[in-house]
Structure 1
Amino acid sequence: MIGFSLTDKQKALREESARIGREILSPARELYSQYSDQESRFQASLPFYQKLVKAGFVKAQVPTVLGGSNESFIDGAIVAEELYAIDSSIMLHVLGTGLGLMPLILGGTPEQQKKFLAPFITCDGEPLASLTHSEPGGTANWLEKGGKGLETTARKEGDYYVVNGDKLWTTNSAGWDGKGATLSCLCCRYSEDGGSQDPNDDPASNIIVLLITRDTIAQNGPEAYRKIAEPNLMGHIAASAPLTRYTNFKVPIANILGAPGSGASVIERAFSMSAALAGAMAVGTMRAAFEAALKFAREDSRRGTVPVIERQSPADLLINAKLKIDTSRILVWKALDGVERGTGDDNSRYEACLQAKIYCSDQAVSAVWDTMQLVGITSYRTDTVFPRLLNDATVFSLFDGGNIGVRRRQLQRLMQAKDYQPWASLW
C-alpha cells in the first residue's frame, strides 16, 4: 500500500522540532552575523549548537541500535527540513556531523562503533564529526582509472599510517578551535612511497578511511596537523569548511575503518545516504521562502484594492514554488523509505537518493527566486529573509557532490549499465 501520511509519532516529532528550533535557533543569526569573517561567525554559533546537542539532535544522527535515537531515516529528513528552515549554518553542523559518522556507522567494527560513537550519544558538550574527503584540486573524478586520484596519501610505517596532504570543503573537520573535530573519517589513497596514482591501478583498490580524533591530533607534533584557512562563504555564513594540512601525520593502524581497499565503497554509500538528506535541506530553505512570501501576499496590497495573493501573476509564482517544494519532499521521503524498506535493489535505492538530491537542489534557487519576484524589490533588502535564503540555496547543487560533476554522472553510470532496470524502485 502506498501512503504519504506521517504517523502520530512523526507529527509530534515535527512539531517538537519546530518548537525547539524556534526557541534555540531563531536568535542565532542576529548574534553571529555581526562578525565579518567565517571563522568568527562559526565560533559564535557554538552556544546554540551546544543547546541542540543537549536537546538530542546530535544523538539523533546515530541509529538506536548503536545507542543513538534515530529510529528512521525519514524522521531525520523531517527534523532536517524543520530546522534548516530556521538556521542553515547551525543545522549544517548537525547534519555534517551525521555525514561524518556515516562511514563509521556503515563500516566500523562493533568495537570501533562503541569507542568512537560514545561522545555523540551523551547529549553533552559540543561534539563535531566530519567526513574528510574533498580536496583543493577537486574530487569529482577521484575513482577514474588513469586519473590522478586523491592527493592525500597514507603509507604504513610500523604501527602507524603516515598521512600527507590537504583537505578542503570538509564540514566541521577542524573542530571549534582548529585542533580537529571530535571524529574525522579521513579518506586517503594508500601509497607506499607517497607518490602519484599508478594509472594501471583501480583507484578504489587503494582507498582507506582512517578514524581521527582530537587525541590522535594531540599525540602528533604541532606541524603534523594545521588549519590553514577558513573560506568566507556566500551562504551558510556560520558553517565551517576549512582548508587543513596533514604533514607526516601519524594514525594508529587500529584506527583504519574496514580492510584496506574497502574505503571507497564505504564513502560512496555514505554519500548516497547524504544525497537524500541534502534534498531535505533544500526543502527547508524553499519552505522558509514560501512561508515568508505567502505572509506578504496575504497582508500587502501594494497600494491596490486587494491583497497581492488575489492577483493572478503573484498567485502563479506561489503555486510554482509550492509545486517544487511538495514534489521535492515526496522524492526525499520516497528515497529514504526505499532505503529503510529495501524496496527494489541496491542500484534502484541509490538512484532514488541521487534523484532526490539532484531534483531538490536544482529547484531550490528557482523556488526562492519565484518568491522574491512575488515580493518585488523589498525582497532585495538584507533585513528580509530572502537574500539569506537565496545565498543558502545556491550551494545545494554544488556541495555534497556537485550535481554536474558528481551526482548526474553517478546517475548516468547507473543508466549505462546493461542490466539497468528503470522502474525497479516501484516494486
Structure 2
Amino acid sequence: MPLLLRGMPTHAKILQPFIKREGAPLASLVNSEPTGTANFGGVEGKGIRTTAREEGDWIVIEGEKIWATNCAGWVFKGAGLQCVTRRFIPSSSASASRSSPSTSDTNVVVAVTWADIEASPPGSYTVLKHFDSFGLTAKSGPLVRISGVRVPKSQLLCQPGQGLELCDEAFTMSAIVLGAMSVGVMRAEFDSALAFAKRDDRGGAEPILTKQSRRSTEGAWLPPARELAYHAKVYCSESAVKAVIDCVYAAGVTTYDEGSGLGLGKLVKVTMVLPLFDGGNVGVRKRQLQKLMCAADYDAWGTTM
C-alpha cells in the first residue's frame, strides 16, 4: 500500500512481478518491532529501532521486525516486495549508533525487493523465529533480522519525517478490509448460532430460539457494523468480539465440541485476534482517532444531519 500511495514512475520496475502475474510474488507492509510499536511516533521514546543508513546512492538496512504478514516470502528468504518502516540516518551522521533515540522527523518507508536481498551479503536476511499464531493460523509473520541489506536510495518511498504519516495512511486503507472481514465473521457466527437455536431445545419443550433473549442480542451488532465497515476497523472488530460471545451463549457448552458442525470454536479464535492485527486497535487505530479529535478544526457533528 505505501508503494501505491507514494510510488513514482521510477518505482514501476518494483511492481513488474505483480503486474506481469508471473509466479506468486508476495508483498508485505513491515512495521512492527520486537520491542513494540505502540509508541512508534513519540519523540520521547525509543520509537522505530530499525535503521536505514545512507551510504552514497545506497541505503543500508539494519534491525529486526516481527508480525509482518508474508514478509519472509514463500521460502523464508524475503518476500518479493517489503515496504519497511525505518529510522533514517543520513551520511552526515552515519556514525550514529543503532541505539540512538528515534525522532519523528527521521522515519521513512523503504521498498525492499527480493532481488535486493539476493544481491546483499550472505546472512543479510534471517528468519529468527516462527510463531504458532492464535486464531489466524494460515499466516506467516516471523521475527526477522535484517543486517546489511543494501537498496538503492531511489527506493525511499518518502522523505525523512514522512514515514509515520505514510504508514498511517496505509493502515487507514486496510481498515476497510478489516472492517468488512469483521462483519463477515459476525455473519458466520450469527448464522451458526441461529441454526442451532432453531433446531435444539436443550431438553425443553420448544427450540431455545423461542425462549431466550439470545435471539435478538447478537443480531443487534450487525446492521451498524455493516455500514461502518467502509470507515472503521475499530468498531467492527470490537463489535465482532461482543457478537461472538453472544453467539457462544446461545449455543452453550456445545461450542466446546469441534465436531458438532457449529464451527463457533474456530470463529471465536479468529474473532479474538481481529482487534490485534493489521494495525492493533490500541497501538495504531485508536491513536488515529485520538489524533483526529485533537485537531483544532475537529467537528464532532460534521457528518450528522
* Fold shared by both chains (TM-score > 0.5): yes
Q: 2:109 — aligned with what?
A: 209
Contact 2:38 / 2:282 at 8 angstroms: preserved in 1?
no
Q: CA deviation at 1:290?
A: 0.9
Q: 2:23 — aligned with what?
A: 125
Q: 1:164 — aligned with what?
A: 62
| Among 221, 225, 228, the residue aligned to 1:331 | 228
Please state if 1:410 is matched with 2:288: yes
Q: CA deviation at 1:253?
A: 1.4
Q: 2:208 — aligned with what?
A: 308
Give the number of aligned pairs.
Answer: 298
Please state if 1:195 is matched with 2:98: yes
Q: CA deviation at 1:244?
A: 0.5
TM-score by length of 2: 0.91
Please state if 1:386 is matched with 2:284: no
Question: Equivalents in 2 of 1:299, 1:111: separation in Å?
Answer: 61
Answer 1 or 2: which has greater helix percent: 1
Distance 1:125 1:294, change over 3 A: farther
Q: Residue by residue, what CA displacement relative to the aligned partner does 1:250-295 show, whole Å, maximum 9, x if unpaired?
A: 1121221133332222111111122232111111111111111112
Question: Equivalents in 2 of 1:259, 1:300: separation in Å?
Answer: 61
Amino acid across the alignment from 2:134: M
Q: Residue by residue, what CA displacement relative to the aligned partner does 1:173-220 show, whole Å, maximum 9, x if unpaired?
A: 001110111111011001233433447xxx232111111111111111
Amino acid across the alignment from 1:130: S
Question: Equivalents in 1 of 2:295, 2:164: separation in Å?
Answer: 20
Q: 2:139 — aligned with what?
A: 239
SS in structure 2 at match of 1:264: helix
Q: CA deviation at 1:123?
A: 4.6
SS in structure 1 at match of 2:291: helix
Question: Equivalents in 1 of 2:170, 2:73: separation in Å?
Answer: 21
Question: Equivalents in 1 of 2:19, 2:209: separation in Å?
Answer: 46
| Among 147, 162, 175, the residue aligned to 1:262 | 162
Question: Equivalents in 1 of 2:286, 2:156: separation in Å?
Answer: 31
Please state if 1:271 is matched with 2:145: no
Contact 2:135 / 2:269 at 8 angstroms: preserved in 1?
yes
Q: 2:118 — aligned with what?
A: 218
Q: 1:135 — aligned with what?
A: 33
Q: 1:45 — aligned with what?
A: none
Question: Equivalents in 2 of 1:418, 1:127: separation in Å?
Answer: 43
SS in structure 2 at match of 1:184: strand
Question: Equivalents in 2 of 1:194, 1:256: separation in Å?
Answer: 21
SS in structure 1 at match of 2:246: helix
Please state if 1:294 is matched with 2:191: no
Q: CA deviation at 1:121?
A: 3.8
Q: How large is the Cα RMSD of the aligned pairs? A: 1.9
Contact 1:147 / 1:197 at 8 angstroms: preserved in 2?
no
Contact 1:154 / 1:194 at 8 angstroms: preserved in 2?
no
Q: 1:184 — aligned with what?
A: 82
> Where do 1:5-44 residues align within 5 Å?
none
Which sections of structure 2, spanning at least 5 residues, go unmatched?
Answer: none
Contact 1:161 / 1:252 at 8 angstroms: preserved in 2?
yes
SS in structure 1 at match of 2:195: helix
Question: Equivalents in 1 of 2:243, 2:20: separation in Å?
Answer: 38
Q: Residue by residue, what CA displacement relative to the aligned partner does 1:103-138 show, whole Å, maximum 9, x if unpaired?
A: 0010010331x3223333445532211001110011
Contact 1:207 / 1:261 at 8 angstroms: preserved in 2?
yes
Contact 1:283 / 1:329 at 8 angstroms: preserved in 2?
yes
Question: Equivalents in 2 of 1:184, 1:328: separation in Å?
Answer: 32
SS in structure 1 at match of 2:34: coil
Q: Residue by residue, what CA displacement relative to the aligned partner does 1:29-67 show, whole Å, maximum 9, x if unpaired?
A: xxxxxxxxxxxxxxxxxxxxxxxxxxxxxxxxxxxxxxx
Question: Equivalents in 2 of 1:119, 1:325: separation in Å?
Answer: 39
Question: Equivalents in 2 of 1:286, 1:197: separation in Å?
Answer: 45
Q: CA deviation at 1:387?
A: 1.4
| Among 184, 195, 207, the residue aligned to 1:284 | 184
| Among 333, 344, 359, the residue aligned to 2:235 | 359
SS in structure 2 at match of 1:302: coil
Contact 1:318 / 1:370 at 8 angstroms: preserved in 2?
no
> Where do 1:55-70 residues align within 5 Å?
none
Distance 1:118 1:318, change over 3 A: farther
Answer 1 or 2: which has greater strand percent: 2
Question: Equivalents in 2 of 1:219, 1:238: separation in Å?
Answer: 30
Q: CA deviation at 1:148?
A: 0.9
Which sections of structure 1, spanning at least 5 residues, go unmatched?
Answer: 1-101, 336-355
Question: Equivalents in 2 of 1:404, 1:204: separation in Å?
Answer: 19
Counting aligned pairs with the same residue, the percent is 42
- Between structure 1 and structure 2, the one with the greater Rg is 2
